[in-house]
Structure 1
Amino acid sequence: MELTGIVNSLEYKSILVTGAAGFLAKIFVEKVLRVQPNVKKLYLLLRAADAESATQRLHKEVIGKEVFRVLREKCGASLDSFIADKVTAVAGDIACDNLGIEASDLREEMWKEIDIIVNLAATTNFDERYDVSLGVNAMGAKYVLSFAKRCVKLQMLLHVSTAYVAGEQAGLIMEKPFRMGETLNGTPGLDIEEELKLVEEKMKELRALGAPKSAETFAMKELGINRARFYGWPNTYVFTKSLGEMLIGQSRGNLPLVIIRPTIITSTYREPFPGWVEGMRTIDSLGVGYGKGRITCFLGDPESIIDVIPGDMVVNAMIVAMVAHANQHGEFIYQVGSSVRNPAKFTLFQDYGYQFFSKNPCIDKDGKPIKVGKVAVFSTMDSFHKYMAIRYMLPLKALQLLNIVSCQYFQSLYSNLSRKINFVMRLVELYRPYLFFRGVFDDLNLEKLRIAIKDNGEEENKFCFDTKCIDWDDYFLNIHLPGLIRYVFK
């Protein structure tokens, strides 16, 4: 594979970005505008009632964010006119036909102009309502593909998934596509249409019973988790992302398709500046809970590898793959992570948290610094339950029964302790598959991209996605955790 002129390849291109208000999408949009000001047009799909609302969201939730600081400084007073010329806010909804774009003239323009589609829209909650997760992560991917097929000059559909569609596999996990109906545990009968019918029937049942909104949400979340686990996936998020991959893989025809599977995405490593992060990334929930004194113990395998990847490296890999496979009629899978080239063990994260928050304590509601201690880590669920029972002087049976389903029962028995304990137990329940994860993600395809770009030193540096260059001690103590404090804790 020969790969040169990445920046030039973006010149005069029209690109549709779905999920444009998301963390990764902002990094992508900023990067394209900064390195290639001669991009023709970025169409940013935003959930909104109309064009005016979409434009307001664009300026408030995308361009107005800190990640655009460098571009803002570069453009100065001309930023607004530059954005007006290069960016079009599109009111729509990925979970609808034609992406919910009601303005017919804009739809026609997009079908004529778009060269590349980057699908970043997703709901990433592990225990999202099943109807919502199916609508966005699975059917949304199908609607994006249908829209792509109407774009007369389309060169590429790039779909961002997650490496954890692999479920809880151990060993070397290959970069291979999913096929329709394939399940992780071999259970037959997976049919997306049947899953949609199941949701519809459950909703009819709940409405017939007059169930309140809270009960409906609870039932939909439970349905999603149960269906995911029935077929071998640990949660609703990764299950529905797998279904999305199946749908576009089956129906793409000869459309060039790249599927990017990032691992756990963290703050920017280098661009547009180090440490920018937005919202709670997966492992940050643990860091925040620990820094605020809410977590004093946790569960995990000290020898397991936590595969993390900075957001800007994911975006660099996306852009390089996008350029490399434009107009190539195939399906290409890229797992973007660090577990093969530069693995970081679970034990390191314990040390980082203690080192950082000991020197940079959070402040409690009374204005006093919160002291943190070493976290007790338990390598089995039984040892964790025993510790929690002893610490809070509770019947062991209550803790052994505690899971997402029994939280309400537990709260009624132990209301004075429920908030603190449920916080820890909920994190344990949701993140357990990743804290005992025994797989590493093969990145041979990504290595081929690295080799292809290596001959061009300037662009290799501009679009770096080689995790071997990361010193994890420096990254977490001097970049990621300070960024978390600055941009999330504020």
Structure 2
Amino acid sequence: MEDSQIQSFYKSRNVFITGGTGFIGKVLIEKLLRSTEVSTIYLLVREKKGRTVDERVDKMFDDVIFNVLKKECPKYKHRIDVISGDCTMPDLGLCMQDKQTLMSKIDIVFHIAANVRFNECLKLAYMINVNGTKEILKLARQMTNLKSLIYVSTAYANCPYNEIEEKVYNSIRYDYVETLIEKMGDEEDVVLTSRILENHPNTYTFTKSLAESLIKDTGGGLPIGIFRPSIVISTYKEPLAGWIDNLYGPSGMIAAAFLGVVRVIFCDRENIPDLVPVDSCVAGLIATAWDISTNESLTETSNHLPVYNYVSSVENPITWDEFVELNMISLKSFPSSNSLWDTFVIMTPNVYWNRVLQIFYHTLPGLLIDFVAILSGKKPRMMRLYKTTKKSSDAISYFATRSWKFSNDNIRNLWQKMNRTDQKLFPLSITTVHWLIYFRSYLRGIRLYLLREPEDTLEAARRRYVRMRRCNTALKWFLIYIIYEFALKLLSYFHSYMF
């Protein structure tokens, strides 16, 4: 079998990663340590909630996602070097010694750090997503051994366009936005943000678009590329199936439906939720860095900027209807121990019909459950929970009711460029994902890793699920009987009245 070109590229290299403690970052670190012979991975980490950077990284490695690594490569820790810093600060908040280390040793950079909250205030989103990128570029120009720099954007950075190619689109000038932000107070931020965003649905996609424009304008001469994943969800196979650590996007929606809390989803069932497993995405990210290093058009005077749309809708699409249906099939095998009632989902793209259904299936049951809780001396929580889920639903409704036509020629060309060994080690092609197999572990992963329901509770949960389904069926037939009897009496009344 051929030698791996990608492994040869990473062998004895030093890698710098921002956003390493996040969802994609964890899987990237694990894959690099387990499947390549990188010399050292330098992680930029900031202190948070009273924890030092070393404490945060130690906590990160306690995650089950690293269990396979610990068995296969037990001496991995000597290849990790934690650097204290912050993407919101000038020079990334680096001390002079750490800055000198990065400038002299780093070969490959993955800039993943970002504020991913859709409704973040514009100032903070800009500070992290745009200014942080500016500081990375400034540092990269001083790296004497830099072979590749990958900026992780999002496929929806240019969502106002219906068709999204692998190029940077012209948007409002990032420096103009920066000038506006510097003059705005906190109250003005709230008032003026919607005007500044123009056609963007939130500050996340807007600032990601600005960061791409910044790279296009100031990244000339650097071996740099933009990697745009769509909606990143749990792992497909590596290092374990179904792992996920956040409730963002469709996963949060499915988790709420899984618990019987959410019954109504505002989406168009025929549209395509562009989903990509995180391990497939990371395989693409790793291969992209190698591809950039071999790109002869990226010279010191070149302004060429490769863009990689990492999406599923082009080669392996799945509709919202299929997404929900496959999860409902898996529900029979992996029900929750804490579901409130039998699970079902109604999908509608009509904003008015959605509001009506929300009242009958969310608001009224929530008020009833809270009323019973108050009578029982317990704290009411359902309406507060529904407010949270509605906020999340509103945030993703823009994406759930629309579809985009993406191109992904650079990703497909990269897959063809890889030899068979690399294709096996780094299966980035979305055509290798079998959705039926994937969704067998997706719901199990939500149950195990997000809802913290152990495997040993599964049998009891299945028995409970069967009982709840029977009760739900009995209730439906009872309601049908009541309606039927009421209709008969109504007809009898009208018959006697008229005759």
TM-score band w.r.t. shorter chain: 0.7 to 0.9
Q: Which residue of 2 aligns with 1:9?
A: 9
Of 196, 204, 208, which residue of structure 2 is paired with 1:227?
A: 196
Q: 1:142-182: CA deviations, max 9, x gaps?
A: 11101101111211111000001121433x4211113xxx3
Q: Is the 8 A contact 1:300 1:378 kept in 2?
A: yes
Partner Cα distance (1:149, 1:140) in 2: 15
Of 136, 140, 145, which residue of structure 2 is paired with 1:153?
A: 145
Q: Which residue of 1 aligns with 2:23?
A: 23
Q: Does 1:173 align with 2:147?
A: no
Partner Cα distance (2:264, 2:432) in 1: 32
Q: Which residue of 2 aligns with 1:65?
A: 63
Partner Cα distance (1:288, 1:145) in 2: 38
Q: Extract unaligned runs of 5+ from structure 2.
A: 299-303, 365-379, 453-499
Q: 1:306-332: CA deviations, max 9, x gaps?
A: 111111111111111111221641311
Q: Which residue of 1 aligns with 2:214?
A: 247
Q: Does 1:311 align with 2:273?
A: no
Query: What displacement does 1:361 show?
Result: 2.7
Q: 1:248-269: CA deviations, max 9, x gaps?
A: 1110121111100001101111
Q: Which residue of 2 aligns with 1:339?
A: 313
Alignment of 1:239-318 (within 5 A): 239-318=206-285
Q: Which residue of 2 aligns with 1:134?
A: 126
Alignment of 1:330-369 (within 5 A): 330-364=304-338, 369=339
Partner SS for 1:303: coil
Q: Is the 8 A contact 1:3 1:452 kept in 2?
A: no
- Judging changes above 3 Å, is the alpha-carbon distance between structure 1 residues 156 and 169 closer, same or farther for their aligned structure 2 residues? same
Q: 1:442-467: CA deviations, max 9, x gaps?
A: 111111011111xx222211110122
Pair member with larger Rg = 2
Q: Which residue of 1 aligns with 2:114?
A: 122
Q: Among all aligned residue pairs of Structure 1 and Structure 2, give the percentage whose two residues are the same amino acid.
A: 25
Partner SS for 1:164: coil
Q: Does 1:481 align with 2:443?
A: yes
Q: Which residue of 1 aligns with 2:85?
A: 92
- Judging changes above 3 Å, is the alpha-carbon distance between structure 1 residues 14 and 174 closer, same or farther for their aligned structure 2 residues? same
Q: Which residue of 1 aligns with 2:36?
A: 36
Q: Is the 8 A contact 1:290 1:353 kept in 2?
A: no
Query: What displacement does 1:483 show?
Result: 1.1
Q: Is the 8 A contact 2:173 2:210 kept in 1?
A: no
TM-score, structure 2 as length reference: 0.80
User: How many residues in Structure 1 have an aligned counterpart in Structure 2?
Assistant: 427
Q: Is the 8 A contact 1:130 1:223 kept in 2?
A: no
Query: What displacement does 1:424 show?
Result: 4.4
Q: Extract unaligned runs of 5+ from structure 1.
A: 184-189, 207-218, 395-414
CA RMSD between the two structures: 2.4
Q: Does 1:441 align with 2:406?
A: yes
Q: Is the 8 A contact 1:256 1:327 kept in 2?
A: no
Query: What displacement does 1:4 show?
Result: 5.6
- Judging changes above 3 Å, is the alpha-carbon distance between structure 1 residues 4 and 222 closer, same or farther for their aligned structure 2 residues? farther
Q: Which residue of 1 aligns with 2:348?
A: 378
- Judging changes above 3 Å, is the alpha-carbon distance between structure 1 residues 222 and 481 closer, same or farther for their aligned structure 2 residues? farther
Q: Is the 8 A contact 1:17 1:44 kept in 2?
A: yes
Partner Cα distance (2:63, 2:386) in 1: 35
Q: Is the 8 A contact 2:45 2:86 kept in 1?
A: yes
- Judging changes above 3 Å, is the alpha-carbon distance between structure 1 residues 461 and 221 closer, same or farther for their aligned structure 2 residues? farther
What amino acid is aligned across from residue 68 of structure 1 in structure 2? F
Q: Is the 8 A contact 2:3 2:421 kept in 1?
A: no
Q: Does 1:163 align with 2:133?
A: no
Partner Cα distance (2:83, 2:269) in 1: 46
Q: Is the 8 A contact 2:257 2:344 kept in 1?
A: no
Of 108, 112, 123, which residue of structure 1 is paired with 2:100?
A: 108
